Structure 1
Amino acid sequence: MTAWTFEHTPTDHPDAVALLRAYRAELISRYYRRPATEAEVDQLDAEEPDTCLAAFLVARRDGAPVGCVGLRRLDAGLGELTKVYLDPRARGQGGGARLITAIEAAAAELGLATLRLDTRADLVEARVLYARQGYREIPRYNDSEYASHWFEKSLPAAVRSLSPTTPPTAS
């Protein structure tokens, strides 16, 4: 049986840095339909710092880092998912749904009742994942130049009532 775990991790931890670079490289590669250069990844690193996140989780499968997700606080009770990434070798195994569930629990621990996110039209799998996790499309809520779809989800009362010591389900 594959064991999934989700750990609060500083974004400057080596595992987080590697996952964030892989996330950015994939975004660039898919957007331009060619491999990303190191310079492009470095530039995106500089343009989108990871320092203002309220939470950042690293997903591990059997101990190996395979994904990440960040959470920004937008307003009282309102947060935004960002930097949602799962290594291609770990996709198709329920890890994306587990990752979203884990960050929703972290958001609830921070007192957030509603989560938003944006994504691009070419990230079809991401849009399917968000819809399956209960996110619904909403009108534009930010000025992201690359976003073409915006989603929102109200966290269920059961998630919001989790105590800070209750770990997310990792089965």
Structure 2
Amino acid sequence: MDSTLVARVRRFNRTVTHRIGALDDAYLARGRPLGQCRVLWEIGDGGSEVRALRARLDLDSGYLSRLLAALRADGLVEVAAAADGRVRTVRLTPAGAAERDELDRRSDDLATDILAPLDEAQRGRLVTAMGEVERLLVASMVRVAPADPDGPESRACVEAYAAELAARFDGGFDPARSIPAAGALMLVASLHGEAVGCGALVPHGSWAAVKRMWVAPSTRGLGLGRRMLAELEATAATRGVRTLRLETNRALTEAIALYRSARYREVPAFNDEPYAHHWFEKDL
């Protein structure tokens, strides 16, 4: 990694943490650190499962337990376990809800304080830049890893993939008619503990088929499709695969544009996939 880029990211981090008061042990003058305030906000009006809260915030279970214990001692949250003891939930008490409302008000004041010294053009530039930074930071938090093709994350992705194809294809989509991805190596992308994309490799000796490429609507625009394709290519190369092939439907214009921009060339049909109109190939 370029050391200059690393240094600029570190400088940005220092500026942001200083400007928003993240270093203060009494964030927004409320007598508690930023971590506790963030957890209060994330719990929300309807409460949350503790494990879901941990996944959304990417927190170590021990650290989150300490945060919740401090909030509970202050009378701001209630933590309860289900009958089987495996699922814990956390809810705001009335005092916790009032504290979160006050934190919201003070957070608005902080945002106003950041914007106030700037002129209109500078405010627009700052907010636009913040939007781009946020988008790229979210993209950097996505993790892509091998997954069990029969595991719950893989199944959830493939079901969402099939549902989208059924909605977009002329005449719908029936997975039973499509060529199966038997023996596939599955990669799943996850964000905050939730599966948000997938792709599969089906080996055929010296070549492999790319199948089940899908990205959740909530993460589109983050470059995840291109990243997933690159991860599949790298995985194939480590296994001695020399050529990748794939087919796609004419309705999937975004996918077709992605494959062409990634230097896949269109070739004659190499299988009898009933839903395909375009076939592509790339030498690794």
User: Which TM bucket (shorter chain)?
Assistant: 0.7 to 0.9
Q: Which residue of 2 aligns with 1:56?
A: 186
Q: Structure 1 residues 87-96 or 24-33, which shifts more?
A: 24-33
Q: Measure how far apart 1:81 and its partner are.
A: 0.2
Of all paired residues, the percent bearing the same amino acid is 36
After superposition, residues 61-80 of structure 1 pair within 5 angstroms as 61-74=191-204, 76-80=205-209
Question: Deviation string for 1:2-46 (max 9, x for gaps)?
Answer: 21211111111111111110001111111147xx7xxx7xx6268
Question: Deviation string for 1:94-130 (max 9, x for gaps)?
Answer: 0001100111111112110110000011110100111
Q: Which residue of 1 aligns with 2:148?
A: 10
Alignment RMSD: 1.9
- Counterpart among 255, 265, 271 of residue 126 in structure 1: 255
- Counterpart among 229, 246, 258 of residue 117 in structure 1: 246
Compared CA separation, residues 50 and 151, structure 1 to 2 (3 A): closer
Contact 1:66–1:90 (8 Å) recurs in 2: yes
Contact 2:207–2:244 (8 Å) recurs in 1: yes
The alignment status of 1:31 with 2:169, answered yes or no, reads yes
Question: Deviation string for 1:129-162 (max 9, x for gaps)?
Answer: 111111111111111121110111111xxxxxxx
Q: Measure how far apart 1:63 and its partner are.
A: 3.7
**Where has structure 1 moved over 6 Å in runs of 4 or more?**
none
SS of aligned partner of 1:121: coil
After superposition, residues 133-148 of structure 1 pair within 5 angstroms as 133-148=262-277
Higher strand residue share: 1
Q: What residue ranges of structure 1 are gaps of 5+ in the alignment?
A: 156-171
d(CA) in 2 for partners of 1:142, 1:120: 13
d(CA) in 2 for partners of 1:84, 1:44: 14
d(CA) in 2 for partners of 1:124, 1:63: 29
Q: Which residue of 2 aligns with 1:168?
A: none
The alignment status of 1:151 with 2:264, answered yes or no, reads no
Number of residues of Structure 1 aligned to a counterpart in Structure 2: 146
Q: Which has the higher contact order (CA 8 A, sep 6+)?
A: 1
Query: Normalising to structure 2: TM-score of the pair?
Result: 0.48
Higher helix residue share: 2
Q: Which residue of 1 aligns with 2:56?
A: none
Contact 1:58–1:69 (8 Å) recurs in 2: yes
Question: Deviation string for 1:37-86 (max 9, x for gaps)?
Answer: xxx7xx62686554421x11001234421000011112x32111000000
d(CA) in 2 for partners of 1:138, 1:50: 21
d(CA) in 2 for partners of 1:27, 1:151: 19
Contact 1:11–1:50 (8 Å) recurs in 2: no
